[in-house]
Amino acid sequence: MSLSLLVFYGSYREARAGIRLADYCVRALSERGHKVELIDARAVGLPMLDKRLSDYAPGTAPAEMTALAEKISAADGFVFVTGEYNSGLQPGLKNLIDHYYQEWRRRPAGIVSYSAGRMAGARSSYAWHPTLTTLGIAVIPASVAVGGITDSLDAAGEPSGAGGAALVRSFAGFADELEWWAGAVKAQRKPG
């Protein structure tokens, strides 16, 4: 079953190593036959949260906010690629997510974390669980954690070295789990 999946990435840094992992996720899921789109928070460019989409009168929200809401509402599932910022959430990604509420409900998501060091973004991954579940997202049990991001993926987003090999091995099981949950949700959402 082909799925519609959104991969979210939220670093605003100039030298963004995590974009390699986001690109890898898009490519790997596309190769499995899914329609996958990268949603890069920096490229979307929503302002610091002042008003959520639901706070605007109908038809008055900024066009980029409305366009993304439509993509979120139509997706079968999500992948959040997140770096670890001071043992916590990536602020750019958190800001993007907070602009929406109802649009996320009753869909699954997987978390793919990374860092430059050995912790592989694990603390960030744990921090995302309550945030995503509060929005009505079912976080799948499988996750991927990539340490030494610049050693594990080259500049083109291709796996390299022992870390890259570990990513390839773990991503297959992660994708299987995401497909199961997203497929179940898609079947349940199908009209009549």
pLDDT at 192 over 60: no
Residue 130: pLDDT band by 50, 70, 90 thresholds? Answer: very high
Q: What is the per-residue pLDDT across 9-36, written as a single tens digit (0 to 9) for each?
A: 999 988 899 999 999 999 999 999 999 9
Domain that holds residue 55: 4-189
User: Number of folded domains in the chain?
Assistant: 1
DSSP string, 52-121: -GGGSPTT-S-HHHHHHHHHHHH-SEEEEEEE-BTTB--HHHHHHHHT-SGGGTTEEEEEEEE-SSTTTT
CATH number where 103 lies: 3.40.50.360
